[in-house]
Amino acid sequence: MSKTSIAQPAKKAKKTQELNAVSPVANVIMHIAFILICMTVLVPLWVIVVASLTPEMELIEEGYKFYAKSLTPEAYGFLFREGSIIFTAYKNTIIATLVGMALSVVSISLYAYPLSRKEFRFRRFFTFVSFFTMLFNAGVVPFYFVSRQILKIDNSLFALFLPLSFSAYWVIVMRTFYTSNVPDGVIESARIDGASEWRTFIQIVLPLAKPGLATVALFSAIGIWNNFFNCMLLVDTAEHYNLQYMIYSTLSNARFLSEMATQVSSLGETIARLPTNAFRMAMAGVTMGPIILAYPFFQKYFVSGITLGAIKG
Amino acid sequence: MKKRIIAALLASALVMALAACGSKGTTAAPTTKAAEKTEAADKETDAKKTDAKETDAKETDAKETDAPAPDAADLPEYTLKYVEIGNQDCSRRGAVEAAISEYIKPLINASIEFQIVAWGDWSEKAITALQSGQEMDIVFTADWQHYLRSVQSGSFNALNDPDGPYGDLLAKYGNDITSTLNPAFITGTQINGVNYAVPTNKELAVPNGWLYNVDKAELYDFVPLKESEGLMKVQEFEPYLAKMKEAEPNTYPYLFSGGNGDEPWVPGFTNFGVITMVQDPDDNGNFDETIVNMWESDYAMELCKTMFDWAQKGYIHPDASLTTFNDSDIFKTGDFLIYQQPLKGNNIKAQERVNASGNNALNIDEIYGQKKVVTTTHTGGSMLAIPVTSADPERAMMYINMMHRDTDLLNMMLYGVPGEDWEIDEGDEYKRVSIINAEWSGAHGGAWTFGNTALQTPTIKEDPEKNRLLQEYALDAVPHPSLGFRFDQTNVEALVAALNNVRDAYERSLYAGAIDPVENIPKFNEEMKAAGLDEIMAEVQKQYDEWKANKEG
C-alpha cells in the first residue's frame, strides 16, 4: 500500500530518493538475505508437516521430501485417537504455561524491584544470593530429592512450572530495566504525593516497566512450554505428562533402543514396535501449536522493550 | 575463608560417607558361596531338564502346594513399589494396579504400584531415584542399565547372602525362582559370589546369525544351511547378493544392523567391544581364554575387506554407517536378502520380528553363524533387584517369586486387566491371548523384562510353544569360562571414555564398509593405543585373573 504512494513521485523525478531509504541494490540484497534466513526456519517446518501426512511406506522407501505423492491423516488420527493422553498433555502444558508465566512475572518483578532501589541497604547481598544460583547449582540428585521428598511436588502439575517460575537471569535483567526506565525522580514524587511503597510499585513502577514484564512473561512462557526435563524427572504418571516430554521420550526411546539393539538381544523386537516416523512428525507439529501465537501477541512490547533498553541502558 | 574451609570439610565428609557405603556391599561378600551355589545348581540341572517339558502342569500344581501358606494373614498390609522399564506411563495403569492388587492381596497381603520409566530416561531418572534414596521395592536392572555400578554403590540388597540384614532371601522366599531357572542364570549374574538381582527366565543362548528373506532366496536360488546342518560365514552369501543386486538394482540386499553374524567374539565381554575373547570352543570343546584386541585379528581385516567391497558394489546401503540408519524400516519393506541379528533358536526371532514389523506378508527364516555358548551378557540382560530403600524386602522377594510361578499374575502384568484389556481366545486350539486394548501391553518393557517367560500365555500371533522352546533351546548350550565376569571400569574411566571416542570415529564405518580397512584399521589401532588401549587391556587382564582365582579358590 505505502509502496504505491511512494512510487508515484519517484516516477516523476527518478533520481530523487526518499530520505533515509536504502539504495535499490542494497534493498534487493537485504530482501534476499532475509528471505533465506526465513527459509531456514520455515523449510524444516514444512518438511515436518509433509512427513506427518505421508504414508509410512512411502517415507521408508523415499525418505523425507518437500511434497508427498499421496497424503494421509493417519498419523494425526492415531495421535488424537480416543483416550489418547495427548489431550491431557495439551491441557497440562497450557495450564502450566499460563500459571507459571503469571507466577514468574510476579516473583521476578517483586524480587528485582527492591534490588533496583539504591536506598535498599541489603541490595548487594540479595543480588549476590540470586546471582550465585546462576553460577552454582547442586546437581540433579539433590534437586530430585528436594522436589520429591521435601516439597513433594512430584506427580502434580506443580512439577511442570514451580521449578521454572523464578529465574536469576531475568531478575538481573529486570533490575537493570527498572534502574534505567523508572527514573528515581518519579518514585520520589510519588512518595512526596503520599503514595505507599506498594502503591508506588503497582501504580507507578509497573506501568513504566511493561515492556520488561512482557519480555519476562514471553521468555518464561516459552521456557515452560519447551521444558521436558522436570517432567521427565519428577512426573511418573501419564495424567501429568506435558507435550514436550511426550515427544522427547518418544525420540529418546528410539535413539536409546537403536543404540542398544546390537548389544541386547531381546530389544530387537521392542524397537520394531516404536511409533512410526509419521507419528513422530505429527507430534512435533502438534507441540508447536499455540506457543507460536504467543510471539505476535507479545511482539509490540517486546520490540519497545529492546529499544528502550538499548538506548538508555 | 572460614566458610570455605567448612564447606570443603563437609564436602569431603560426604564423599567419604558415600565411598564407605559403596564398599560395604562388595567386600562383605564371602567367596565360598560361589562354590556352594554351583554345587546346588548342578543338582538342580537334571531335575530341571525333565521339568521343562511339563512346566505348565507342574507350575499350576506348585501354586497350591508350595505357596507360603500361613503367611498372608499374618503379614502386615504393604504397598509394593515396582519400577519397571518401558516406553511411557499410560492411563490404564490404575486399573491394572487395582486388578493385580486384588489378586495378590489374599496371597501376600500386599498391593502394588507401578512406575514405568522410559528406556531413554533410565540412567537419569531411575538411577537418580536410587541415588536419592527414594523408597522402592522392586527395580528393573540389567548389565546394560548400570547393574554392576548400582551394586558397587550399595543400592541393591544382597539376595542370597546369609550374613546380610535379611538373610538368604532367595532360599527363604525364592523356591520357585531357584527351582525353575537355568543355573547358569544364577552363576552368571553373581558379583563376588552373591546375587543382587533375580534374572528373568528367558532365552539364555543367543548365537549371532542372520535373518533371510525366504521369498527373495527362492528367487535367487539361495539355499542356506539350517542350524542343525551347520554354521555359515558371511562371505558365503556373496554370489546371491550379487544376483539380487543385478536383478533389483535399487535394493541393498545386505541389510546392515551394526554387528556381524559370524563374529567369533564373546559379546559384551567388556562394555566396549574392542577387548574380548574368542567365544566358540575348538573341536575338542576347549576354550581359548586369551584376552585380545579384536581389531588386530585377521578376522576383522577379512570381514571389513568384504564389507568395503560390498559397499562399493552397492550390496550395503550407503547410509548404513550412520547411527541414524533405520534398518527396521527397511526390514519392514522386505527389500533385502540377508539381515544380521542375534538369534534364539527355532525361528523365534524371525517370527518376533515379523509380528513386530506389522507386515505379516514377510516370509523370514534364520541362518546361524555361532555355536550356542552362554555368556555373561545374556544372563544379565534383564533382572529385578530389591533396592536397600525397600521397607520390606521379604515381601518384594515373595512377589518376584510369584512371577516365577503364577501364570495369572504374569498375564495381568503383561496384558492388563483380564476381560477389559485381553481375553483368552476360546476358539483358539491353544487357548492363547487375544488383546482388546494394547495400551498397557505397549507401555511396559515387555514379556522379557520380568518373571518366568515360559509361564506367560502367548498371544494368538505367537507360536504357542514359543516360550518353552526359548528356554529349552539353552539346555544343551555350553557355558563360556568367562560366564559371570564383569569388567569394572572405575579405575580406567577416563581412558575408556577416550577409547570410546576413537571407536565412534571408526567402528561403525568399518563394519558398514564405508571406509577402506587396509588403510584405516592400522590407523584405528594406533589411535586406540594412543588413547590408552594397552593400559585398559592390562586392567581387564588383571581383573579377569583375580576373578578367576576367586572363582576357583
Residue B71: the pLDDT is 56
Could B353 and A236 be called an inter-chain contact, meaning their C-beta atoms sit closer than 8 Å? no
Contact residues, B window 324-343, toward A, CB-based 8 Å cutoff: 326, 328-333, 341-342
- Which of A64-78, B284-298, B477-491 bottoms out in mean pLDDT, i.e. has the lowest? A64-78
Residue B70: pLDDT band with limits 50, 70, 90: very low
**Residues of A with CB below 8 A from B116's CB?**
236
A208 and A154 inside one domain: yes
Residue A302: the pLDDT is 64
A122 and A68 inside one domain: no
Q: Does B48 touch chain A (CB under 8 A)?
A: no
**Rounded distance, CA B381 to CA B374, Å?**
12
Which range among A7-11, A29-33, B218-222, B262-266 has the greatest average pLDDT? A29-33
Q: In the A/B pair of chains, how many CB contacts fall below 8 A?
A: 127
**Residues of B with CB below 8 A from A132's CB?**
none
A135 and A204 inside one domain: yes
pLDDT at B298 over 80: yes
CA distance B431 to chain A (A): 23
Could B87 and A249 be called an inter-chain contact, meaning their C-beta atoms sit closer than 8 Å? yes
A67 and A90 inside one domain: no
A156 and A187 inside one domain: yes
Residue B192: the pLDDT is 85
**Rounded distance, CA A209 to CA A301, Å?**
10
pTM above 0.95, yes or no: no
Residue B18: pLDDT band with limits 50, 70, 90: very low
Question: What 8-state DSSP symbol labels residue B465?
Answer: T
Residue B377: the pLDDT is 87
Q: What is the 3-state secondary structure (H, E, C) of B82-98?
A: EEEEECCCCCCHHHHHH
Residue B439: the pLDDT is 87
Query: For residue B435, which amino acid is it?
Result: I
Beta bridge partners of B118: B86
Are the CB atoms for A140 and B124 separated by under 8 Å? yes
- Higher per-residue pLDDT: B232 or A276: B232
Write phi, then psi, for B341 (nearest 5 degrees).
Answer: -155, 150
pLDDT at B91 over 80: yes
The domain boundary, picked from A33, A51, A72, lies at A72
Q: Where do runs of H (alpha helix) occur along B257-406? A: 298-313, 327-333, 348-357, 376-379, 393-402
| In-domain check, residue A118 | yes
**Could you tell me the three cell numbers for A8?**
508515484
Residue B327: the pLDDT is 83
CATH (domain of A185):
1.10.3720.10
Q: The dihedral of CA A302, A306, A307, A311: what is its sign?
A: positive
**Residues of A with CB below 8 A from B89's CB?**
236-238, 241
**Rounded distance, CA B85 to CA B123, Å?**
11
Which of B92, B146, B328 is the best substitution to test chain A (most A C-beta atoms within 10 A)? B328
A140 and A240 inside one domain: yes
Residue A105: pLDDT band with limits 50, 70, 90: very high
Could A271 and B328 be called an inter-chain contact, meaning their C-beta atoms sit closer than 8 Å? yes
Residues B60-89, mean pLDDT to the nearest whole number: 71
pLDDT at A149 over 60: yes
Strand B138-141 with B78-86, pairing: parallel
pLDDT at B51 over 70: no
**Residues of A with CB below 8 A from B382's CB?**
266
**Residues of B with CB below 8 A from A264's CB?**
142, 144, 381
**Rounded distance, CA B316 to CA B251, Å?**
9
Helix axis angle for A24-53 and A277-288, nearest 10°, is 130
| In-domain check, residue A136 | yes
Could B353 and A260 be called an inter-chain contact, meaning their C-beta atoms sit closer than 8 Å? no
**Residues of B with CB below 8 A from A57's CB?**
332-333
Residue A278: the pLDDT is 82
Contact residues, B window 180-209, toward A, CB-based 8 Å cutoff: 202-203, 206
Residue A305: the pLDDT is 54
**Residues of A with CB below 8 A from B352's CB?**
268-269
A146 and A57 inside one domain: no
A157 and A37 inside one domain: no
**Residues of B with CB below 8 A from A249's CB?**
87-88, 118, 120-121
Average pLDDT score over chain A: 83
Could B381 and A266 be called an inter-chain contact, meaning their C-beta atoms sit closer than 8 Å? yes
CA distance A32 to chain B (A): 34
Residues B295-310, mean pLDDT to the nearest whole number: 93
Are the CB atoms for B76 and B122 separated by under 8 Å? no
**Could you tell me the three cell numbers for A232?**
521427565
Residues A159-186, mean pLDDT to the nearest whole number: 90
Name the residue of chain A whose CA is nearest to B207's CA: A265
Are the CB atoms for B347 and B167 separated by under 8 Å? no
Question: What pLDDT, in 10s, does the model give residues B383-421?
Answer: 999 999 999 999 999 999 999 999 999 999 999 999 999
- Which of A70-74, B25-29, B224-228, B521-525 bottoms out in mean pLDDT, i.e. has the lowest? B25-29
CA distance B57 to chain A (A): 27
Are the CB atoms for B250 and B280 separated by under 8 Å? no
What spatial distance separates the first Cα and last Cα of chain A, rounded to whole Å? 36
pLDDT at B358 over 80: no
The number of domains in chain A is: 2
**Rounded distance, CA B237 to CA B198, Å?**
41
Residue B26: pLDDT band with limits 50, 70, 90: very low
Domains of chain B, first to last:
21-204+379-415 (3.40.190.10), 209-373+488-553 (3.40.190.10)
**Rounded distance, CA A156 to CA A162, Å?**
10
pLDDT at B9 over 70: no
Could B118 and A60 be called an inter-chain contact, meaning their C-beta atoms sit closer than 8 Å? no
**Residues of A with CB below 8 A from B129's CB?**
144
The domain boundary, picked from A72, A98, A118, lies at A72
pLDDT at B58 over 90: no
| In-domain check, residue A260 | yes
Which of B15, B83, B114, B121 is the best substitution to test chain A (most A C-beta atoms within 10 A)? B121
Q: Which of B131, B349, B356 has its CB closest to that of A141?
A: B131
Name the residue of chain B whose CA is nearest to A83's CA: B91
Residue B165: the pLDDT is 85
Which of B88, B255, B266, B420 is the best substitution to test chain A (most A C-beta atoms within 10 A)? B88
Q: Which residues are CB-contacts of B331 (< 8 A; sequence separation ≥ 6)? A: A272, B211, B255, B339, B353, B357, B362
**Residues of B with CB below 8 A from A273's CB?**
356, 442
Residues B57-80, mean pLDDT to the nearest whole number: 59
pLDDT at B2 over 50: no
pLDDT above 90 covers what percent of chain A?
A: 36
Question: What pLDDT, in 10s, does the model give residues A200-258?
Answer: 999 989 988 888 898 899 889 989 999 999 999 999 998 899 989 988 888 888 888 87
Residues B53-58, mean pLDDT to the nearest whole number: 42
* Strands (DSSP E) found in B65-220: 78-86, 110-118, 138-141, 190-191, 194-195, 197-199, 208-213
Question: What pLDDT, in 10s, does the model give residues B147-164?
Answer: 999 999 999 999 988 888
Q: Does B439 touch chain A (CB under 8 A)?
A: yes
pLDDT at B138 over 70: yes
Residue A54: pLDDT band with limits 50, 70, 90: confident
Q: Which of A144, A236, A263 has its CB closest to that of B128?
A: A144
**Rounded distance, CA A23 to CA B108, Å?**
85
**Residues of A with CB below 8 A from B125's CB?**
232-233
Q: Specify the long-range contacts of residues B143-149, CB closer than 8 Å, at least 24 apart.
A: B143/B268, B143/B376, B143/B377, B143/B380, B143/B381, B143/B486, B144/A260, B144/A263, B144/A264, B144/B381, B145/B85, B147/B189, B147/B196, B147/B197, B147/B380, B147/B383, B147/B385, B147/B486, B148/B191, B148/B486, B148/B488
| In-domain check, residue A225 | yes
A180 and A290 inside one domain: yes
A232 and A267 inside one domain: yes
**Residues of A with CB below 8 A from B333's CB?**
57, 60-61
pLDDT at B53 over 70: no
**Rounded distance, CA B270 to CA A96, Å?**
45
Could A265 and B378 be called an inter-chain contact, meaning their C-beta atoms sit closer than 8 Å? yes
A57 and A131 inside one domain: no
The domain boundary, picked from A38, A72, A106, lies at A72
**Could you tell me the three cell numbers for B110?**
500386599
CA distance B447 to chain A (A): 10
Q: Does B266 touch chain A (CB under 8 A)?
A: no
CA distance B98 to chain A (A): 15
Q: Which residues are CB-contacts of B233 (< 8 A; sequence separation ≥ 6)? A: B262, B369
| In-domain check, residue A4 | no
Could A270 and B344 be called an inter-chain contact, meaning their C-beta atoms sit closer than 8 Å? no
A154 and A223 inside one domain: yes
Neighbours of A3 (CB within 10 A): 6
Could B124 and A255 be called an inter-chain contact, meaning their C-beta atoms sit closer than 8 Å? no
Beta bridge partners of B365: B212
Residue B6: pLDDT band with limits 50, 70, 90: very low
pLDDT at B40 over 70: no
Residue B391: the pLDDT is 93
| In-domain check, residue A128 | yes
CA distance A93 to chain B (A): 17
* Strands (DSSP E) found in B179-289: 190-191, 194-195, 197-199, 208-213, 254-255, 275-276
**Residues of B with CB below 8 A from A251's CB?**
120
| In-domain check, residue A7 | no
Are the CB atoms for B317 and B257 separated by under 8 Å? no
pLDDT above 70 covers what percent of chain B?
A: 87
**Rounded distance, CA B512 to CA A58, Å?**
25
Q: Which residues are CB-contacts of B259 (< 8 A; sequence separation ≥ 6)? A: A262, B208, B340, B342, B511
Residues B437-465, mean pLDDT to the nearest whole number: 88
Pick from B453, B319, B455, B329: nearest CA to B381:
B453
**Residues of B with CB below 8 A from A252's CB?**
118-121
Query: For residue B250, which amino acid is it?
Result: N
Residue A304: the pLDDT is 59
CA distance B374 to chain A (A): 13
User: Which range marks the domain in which residue A282 is found?
Assistant: 85-312
Q: Which of B88, B330, B333 has its CB closest to that of A249?
A: B88
- Element containing residue A296 per DSSP (H, E): helix A291-312
| In-domain check, residue A79 | no
Q: Which of A88, A239, A265 has its CB closest to that of B342?
A: A265
ipTM: 0.79
Q: Which of A252, A255, A263 has its CB closest to that of B144?
A: A263
Which of B10, B119, B260 is the best substitution to test chain A (most A C-beta atoms within 10 A)? B119
**Could you tell me the three cell numbers for A158?**
506443580
Q: Does B359 touch chain A (CB under 8 A)?
A: no
Name the residue of chain A whose CA is nearest to B335's CA: A61
Residue B284: pLDDT band with limits 50, 70, 90: confident
Could A145 and B378 be called an inter-chain contact, meaning their C-beta atoms sit closer than 8 Å? no
Residue A21: pLDDT band with limits 50, 70, 90: confident
- Which of A169-183, B24-38, B115-129, B319-333 bottoms out in mean pLDDT, i.e. has the lowest? B24-38
Residues B16-23, mean pLDDT to the nearest whole number: 40
Name the residue of chain B whose CA is nearest to A253's CA: B120
**Rounded distance, CA B440 to CA B462, Å?**
18
